[in-house]
A and B are shown apart, each in its own frame.
Chain A
Amino acid sequence: MSSAAKRLAFPFPAIVGQEEMRQALLISAVDPGIGGVLVFGDRGTGKSTTIRALAALLPEQQVILGCPYGCDPATPQGLCPVCEPADPAHGHEHLKPKVAKVPVPVVDLPLGVTEDRVVGALNLERALTHGEKAFEPGLLARANRGFLYIDEVNLLEDHIVDLLLDVAASGENLVEREGLSVRHPARFVLIGSGNPEEGELRPQLLDRFGLSVEVTTPEDLDTRIEVVRRRDNFERDPAAFCEVWAKDSDKLRRRLLSARKKLKGVEVSEAAYRRAATLCVSLGTDGLRGELTLVRAARALAALEGKAAVSDDHLRRIAPSALRHRLRRDPLDEAGSGVRVERALGEVFAA
């Protein structure tokens, strides 16, 4: 790793405004099963900054040492060909794997990435110099149990998008190439950001994101000044700036951890399920994915706020992120889907 990799990230609590984006990202960190976050909107609104800030905020996690897929020592059995005992009958359960605490991987999927680096491929170096047929894991392996981030996701080449869709759906990466046959776990939170003016996102990919957030430039002058001021201070002296915000970062990190512990215990009442269903019916969202995401995200939001049960308020606050990208897109409705969700919310919750 070069020194560039250690460059300090802008502290998450220092982000000004952009409440919806921050909320969605924190929720995806509390419950990775929600299906990731898509951040779409104006240029220069700090989309990328906020996502990188989240990476720096995440608490460390335990992994089996030496496992290229970062397997969890708590549940080592699974698909990983390294950690799985070769013969289940003679499993080495007596061998306790060595464990390490490492940062949660937040892997960048850069534009221009080639297929072999995404899924993994024959290790060229070892093949050329030693004549060995060894598998070199790709970015999907590195992102396992972490986050996969694609900036300008709408500019990603279609064949790479297809690979991602495949793996994101199954949670595992199956590689059959150059005589290799490898299958390994690849569960990750997909985070995408982009600007709709560069082009629309393919509907299949859109649907794959759990939450979708629209960001706009703040209109209010004071807010704008504060954004520029903090950015400027950070760029002039990143270390000092991070130091100032360290306490807030720690506090937020502890909140995240406690929310993860609480998550399972958060109650979803019959009434809350009903509310969620009514809302989805009135919006005419396809399938049950919207409903499920809505409830799960509301639960994560409740956990994040230390609440024991999901309230109407939680549903209401998360509904736009959970549902706006699932509405049948009417390209001629200038109001946009966010407005339609708001309208439906007003009706359902007024009742």
Chain B
Amino acid sequence: MPDSAVAPPSEDPPPGLRAWRTAGLAAAVFAIDPRGLGGVVLRAQVGPVRTRWTALLKALLPADLPVRRVPAGISDDRLIGGLDLTATLRSGKPVAEKGLLAEADGGVLVLAMAERLSPAAAARIALTLDSGEVAVERDGLAARLPARFGVVAEDEGLADEAPPVVLTERLGLFLDLERLSLRDLVELPLDAEKVAAARALLSRVEVGEGTLEALCGTAVALGIASLRAPLRALRAACALAALSGRTEVEDADVETAAALVLAPRATRVPMSAQPNEPEEETPPSESEPSPEEPRDDSDAGESSEPDLSDRVLEAAAAAISRGLLDKLKLAGQGPRGTQTAGTAGVAKLSLRRGRPIGAHAGRPRPGVRLNLVETLRAAAPWQRLRRPGTTGQTGARIAIRAEDFRVTRFKQRSETATIFAVDASGSTAFNRLAEAKGAVELLLADCYVRRDQVALLAFRGSTAELLLPPTRSLVRTKRALAALPGGGGTPLAAGIDAAAGLGIDLLRRGITPLLVFLTDGQANIARDGQPGRPQAREDAEAAARRLANQRLTALLIDTSARPNEKARSLAAVMEALYLPLPQADARKLDAAVRATLAG
């Protein structure tokens, strides 16, 4: 154990206390080697627990270390740097301004509300983490500035919100403080001097043979694809050794490192350590190597220490508490899950900024933003003429006239999401569900070309269900579609309501929704879930009317064997385009969607 007072002792402490000790240890490891660890994902709401942890970390870091806070809506100007307009205007010559990435060099970059960070900003930070420098190519400036830092990503997200994976993939530590209470926050025997001593020792820490094998093998056994994870775990093991004042990594360091770095990234639980047994009472150091081989694809570890890999795996597995795995997968930590996170950010960004289509001479007015740099460029060649009497640069201010004004126009990126609302009720299921699925697939191919998002909801039985929130992943859509069950009543009103609700929600996020209904228009379940055709019909029409009032664009594909008057009239109430499926071949569907979008 690196520190008997910090690491889990052999008796069984309450889970909260254990988690807090782990959090303290993580803070120390990060403070020893911020850049080597990459960073910490700190999952916690604003509150005393997070405040205490942040204070703890701050106390462990050197006092003169730069710490920069990045708000979620950060602009490229502030993040990367650019022209300092005030200084430029004052001095009469270009003055560069550092961005937060360069300002954080040698220190820590704190991301506030990292789950709201746009994928673009996350990618910029991620690439800076990789290269340790920031390339500024903006506003006529070109520079490469050192930017070596560790990241603290504050994640306040709910279940379906998580910081962008491009970033979290590079952060070694993951802390979940959500379930901690004030009572758990005991004093931890960590002090800045000890951490400083460890930092000084770090470069001399040796890694023995077998350590790599153990960490790589454990990563594989836990279903962690990326090779960054074992590399970060290795760094953590070195930091832990240094924290104990050693220059040699011991097995206990490796076990703790695996628990800190690898366990939170697990996408599967190894066979020998199913966590449905009460797992909290098994501290890593005491867990015995399991008799059966936990991995079948491993041939490492046989060389030097046959049981280190097993013990590291046990330690990691023990650190995976029940339910955590599912939560992590939801949060997009798994190797394939990422789609929901961040899309909202993109949408908002594009709503605010759209796609610049160049700067033009013109006056700023609402919706048209003054482009200061271009304005400056326009004014620059005239400066001498505009300063009669003074020749050359006397530090005079820049004379800008109205004709210099340049404005940036933004073309609103028309981001579209197509919501498929599929009638999967009995009548349709028996007749045309397969064909309806085929029609959706055709439309999907079209959505791919237009880079649209796609959402899928189905209504059957008594309710409507969102099978797939808006996504760009066609593979996921296809999977959801294939798994779409059929049968039961037709709660048409519920289906229309759900689609309209999602549509409104998307509109609010700056995305243009297109609703595509696949139904035969036969309703037999009313809004209240009760069967009965007349009421069901009435409710469906009311829902359709409301949809029309909300000005949502819709397309109704009639899935009846022959064009059905009920479906046609429902489309009319919805003010939707009506298309009977018998004619709905690929080209017609495509044309219909295009026409609907254009209209």
Contacts and interface: CB of A to CB of B under 8 A. Distances in A.
Interface of A: 1-2, 4-5, 7, 42-46, 48, 108-118, 121-125, 127-129, 131-133, 136, 139, 151-152, 155, 157-159, 178-179, 195, 197-200, 202-203, 217-219, 221-222, 224-225, 227-229, 231-232, 236, 329-332, 334
B529 to A, nearest CB: 34
Contacts of A136: 140
Contacts of B245: none
B278 to A, nearest CB: 31
B133 A4 contact: yes
A159 to B, nearest CB: 6
Contacts of A115: 356, 358
Nearest to A157: B355
A301 B376 CA distance: 51
Nearest to B383: A131
B226 A42 contact: yes
A147 to B, nearest CB: 15
B166 interface: yes
Interface stretch (B442-450, B459-467, B489-497): B442-450
Lowest 10 A-B CB distances belong to which pairs?
A: A127-B380, A44-B226, A117-B137, A131-B384, A110-B135, A44-B228, A331-B474, A112-B76, A331-B448, A4-B133
Nearest to B140: A124
Given A112-B80, A124-B380, 12 more contacts: A44-B226, A110-B80, A111-B120, A113-B137, A114-B373, A132-B381, A136-B140, A155-B120, A157-B355, A158-B355, A178-B381, A224-B219
Interface string B5-41: 0000000000000000000000000000000000000
A121 B406 CA distance: 15
A131 B135 CA distance: 28
A145 B93 CA distance: 33
A67 B113 CA distance: 47
Contacts of B135: 108, 110
Interface stretch (B62-70, B141-149, B506-514): B141-149
B297 interface: yes
Interface string B155-177: 00000000001100100000000
B305 interface: no
B92 interface: yes
A198 B342 CA distance: 10
A224 B227 contact: yes
B277 to A, nearest CB: 27
Contact of B146 (A2, A178, A198, A199): A2
A131 B380 CA distance: 7
Contacts of A331: 444-445, 448, 474, 478
Contacts of A133: 381
B377 A178 contact: yes
Nearest to B309: A221
8 contacts: A4-B146, A124-B377, A128-B94, A200-B472, A217-B226, A332-B444, A332-B445, A334-B475
B230 A222 contact: no
Contact of A2 (B94, B145, B220, B298): B145
A114 B216 contact: no
Given A42-B225, A221-B216, A222-B300, A155 B398 contact: no
A123 B140 contact: yes
Contact of B139 (A116, A221, A228): A116
A203 to B, nearest CB: 7
A328 B79 CA distance: 39
Given A111-B127, A221-B299, A222-B299, A199 B472 contact: yes
Given A112-B138, A332-B474, A1 B144 contact: yes
Contacts of A113: 137-138
A228 B227 contact: yes
A128 B383 contact: yes
Contacts of A221: 213, 216-217, 220, 297-300
A224 B230 contact: yes
Interface string B221-262: 000011111110010000000000000000000000000000
Given A199-B472, A331-B474, A129 B93 contact: yes
B206 to A, nearest CB: 10
A128 B398 contact: yes
Contacts of B123: 111, 152, 155, 198
A228 B230 contact: yes
A187 to B, nearest CB: 20
A228 B166 contact: no
A110 B137 contact: yes
A110 B80 CA distance: 10
B137 A200 contact: no
A136 B138 CA distance: 13
Contact of B338 (A123, A139, A197): A197
B564 interface: no
Contacts of A118: 137
Contacts of A198: 119, 123, 166, 338
A303 B508 CA distance: 57
B357 A159 contact: yes
A333 to B, nearest CB: 10
Contacts of A43: 165-166, 169, 225-226, 228
B589 to A, nearest CB: 15
Nearest to A44: B226
Nearest to A220: B297
Given A114-B139, A128-B93, A152-B127, A159 B169 contact: no
Interface string B116-154: 000110011011001011111111111011100000000
B440 to A, nearest CB: 10
B44 interface: no
A114 B338 CA distance: 28
Contacts of A218: 227
A127 B231 contact: no
A202 B413 CA distance: 14
B274 interface: no
A157 B385 CA distance: 38
B94 to A, nearest CB: 5
Nearest to A123: B140
Nearest to B91: A128
Contacts of B356: 115, 159
B230 to A, nearest CB: 5
